[in-house]
Structure 1
Amino acid sequence: MKIGNLELRKEPLLLAPMEDVTDPSFRLLCKKYGADLMYTEFVSADALVRSIEKTQRKLKIFVQERPVGIQLYGKDIEAMVEAAKIAEQAGPELIDINFGCPVKKIATKGAGSGMLRDIPKMIEMTAKIVRAVKLPVTVKTRLGWDEDSKIIVEVAERLQDAGIKALTIHGRTRAQMYNGEADWSLIGDVKNNPRMHIPIIGNGDLSSPQKARLYLDRYGVDGLMIGRSSIGRPWIFREIRHFLDHGQLLDTPAIPEHVEMIREHLNNSTEWLGERRGILHMRRHLAITFKGLRDFRDLKIKMLRANTAQEVHECLDTIKERYADCTSLIE
């Protein structure tokens, strides 16, 4: 698959941009397990233009995680254009525009998926960003605002005409948020539209290797973007890649591998954010990674209340010893 001058393997697997998740510590882990293209957390155009330090840090890219796209969101066209120019200087492989985030504080203000209620503005913003930067510009969006406005087939054509080099579609409307089942049929309609010639990437409910193969074959998309299913389970990229290439399912990693994965993530997180912030950032991953272990409640509470990296590592040592014979989580 090719996005502008960026060449990826056939049927690439992309890590979805997720706020408070896809920082460098997590991206490095997903890269290790086989993700082909990474995205940053959401970057606010307004905050970037105002030189807010926390936002500027999101532009940091490490050599070993490339290729990486920086994803921008905002409602003001001029701020988005200026932010794209700033992001380009950080040296990503591409600039992605967020027209898909359903979170109320973003969407109801006209940014993210809120732009689906003002298609002319969406197209104007996209075209101006494309003209402002030399990097490939891509878009991530949804099927529409609600059940009565699933307009993605038309919108995809107009975004392509505006100059984007690839389009990722999440198979839900904004009104659905993350509820219900993702509808891939309209993603397939976009891909099979004879007017479309840019890569179409599918997103939504990609929770197993079997689903990945099914969606690729049934809907003909060029690539797959994996989001929430990777939290606590970054090896999903390895599992899906192996199944796509060889038609075989890999065994679920044993608990000791879970432990060493989360230990590496913890080390990366504390190095990137500092000990205190790094531990706080990790709590979601710690809880999800070991969800389902039998008789785990007390140890889980202790681990999530830990205030130092050493305390977390001691809990991980206990998990590794106590559940050494477990080959998978017990649901």
Structure 2
Amino acid sequence: MQIGPIALENRLFVAPMAGVTDRPFRMLCRELGAGYAVSEMVTSRKELWNTLKTSRRANHEGEPGPIAVQIAGTDAAMMAEAAHYNIDRGAQIIDINMGCPAKKVCNKWAGSALMRDEPLALEIVQAVVDAAAPHGVPVTLKMRTGWSQDHRNAVKLARDFESAGVQMLTVHGRTREQGYKGEAEYDTIAAVKAAVRVPVVANGDVTTPQKARDVLALTGADAVMIGRAAQGRPWIFREIAHFLATGLELAPPLVAEVRRLMLDHLQAHYALYGEFSGVRTARKHIGWYVRSLPDGEAFRARMNTLDDCASQLRAVADFFDALAVHTDRMPSRSADAELPTDEEAAIAAG
């Protein structure tokens, strides 16, 4: 499939997740079979662009293309300027955030809160499209089915956004009111797909290869986007790709391979964040990797007591060396396995 003039490797996408999909994580998911990855959202507030957090989010050194950057905000002119800012720093695709349900975002009327103000949402989209068009940069948008159960307006907005020039739409099958609770519904995504000509991406509760197949069939979507199910299990992309191509399940990765992947991921993570922040922000990733493993919870708790990178690396290596004595492969994830929560991420980050 394509986003405007840009051809993608496949139809398996990494969802933008604040505090998770930084450059090292995106590159790991791409290595393991994802065809496309969107950055953490970058604020449209210009006074924050020189902060360390934003500079890290706008860092794409060594990252394979296409470089897709998600921007968030509530002012059309500021969002247009944010598009320019990120294009100047290598963005090849600009994605507009109208899907984030987080209170700290929605309380400022950004993210999925914009779906409550359709004229403003459309004004923002038009401004960003107009800003990106002279550079040949396509604009995409991620949204939810609506604000609440009684306010599902994704189909109407999808038509409006397409008319304004958006070249791909991603729909999370929940309302803002739901957050990540309950089960995603796919009828609205199917209705959006039927209503527009641009590619539509289905997001929400895609946790296994079989679920990816079913969601693609139910919605008619052009691609699936995976978020929480990739946390601690980034090889889910190659598992899905193999299943969609052959109808057969791929064997879980070897413990030795995951050990290598983790250590490489941690080294790249430390290089981006430095010693102090790196060891602390890595805790959530380590916790997600080990949560379903024997003694994983005890090891996770121990991680929160280590405050230097060398100790953290050594502990992870030793944990997987010990695991390899008992089993050569990682366990499979069941369809009903509990996914990481935002609260867990906050706790793990310390």
Per the TM superposition, whether the score is higher than 0.5 is: yes
Q: Which residue of 1 aligns with 2:240?
A: 240
**Aligned partners of 1:255 and 1:329 also within 8 Å:** no
Distance in 1 between the 2:264 and 2:143 partners? 32
Other structure's SS at 2:143 match = strand
Structure 1 runs not aligned, ≥5 long? none
Shift of 1:303: 2.6
**Aligned partners of 2:291 and 2:297 also within 8 Å:** no
Other structure's SS at 2:146 match = coil
Q: What is the count of residue pairs matched by the alignment?
A: 328
Shift of 1:233: 0.6
Shift of 1:49: 6.7
Q: Which residue of 2 aligns with 1:295?
A: 295
The superposition leaves residues 148-192 of structure 1 with CA deviations (integer Å, 9 ceiling, x where unpaired) of: 011111111011011100000000000000000001111011112
Match 1:164 to one of 157, 163, 166: 166
Alignment of 1:126-141 (within 5 A): 126-134=125-133, 135-141=137-143
Shift of 1:328: 2.8
Structure 1 residue 189 corresponds to structure 2 residue 188: no
Alignment of 1:193-232 (within 5 A): 193=195, 196-232=196-232
Q: Which residue of 1 aligns with 2:29?
A: 30
**Aligned partners of 1:140 and 1:168 also within 8 Å:** yes
Other structure's SS at 1:314 match = helix
Q: Which residue of 1 aligns with 2:94?
A: 95
Q: Which residue of 2 aligns with 1:277?
A: 277
TM score, norm. by length of structure 1: 0.94
The superposition leaves residues 85-140 of structure 1 with CA deviations (integer Å, 9 ceiling, x where unpaired) of: 11111122200000111111111221000101100110011011111113100100
Other structure's SS at 1:98 match = strand
**Aligned partners of 1:38 and 1:65 also within 8 Å:** no
TM score, norm. by length of structure 2: 0.90
Amino acid in the other structure paired with 1:130: V
Q: Which residue of 2 aligns with 1:115?
A: 114
Other structure's SS at 1:179 match = coil
Distance in 1 between the 2:310 and 2:60 partners? 27
Distance in 1 between the 2:218 and 2:5 partners? 28
The superposition leaves residues 265-292 of structure 1 with CA deviations (integer Å, 9 ceiling, x where unpaired) of: 1000001111221111111111110112
Shift of 1:39: 1.0
Structure 2 runs not aligned, ≥5 long? 338-350
RMSD of Structure 2 on Structure 1 (CA): 1.7
**Aligned partners of 2:2 and 2:8 also within 8 Å:** yes
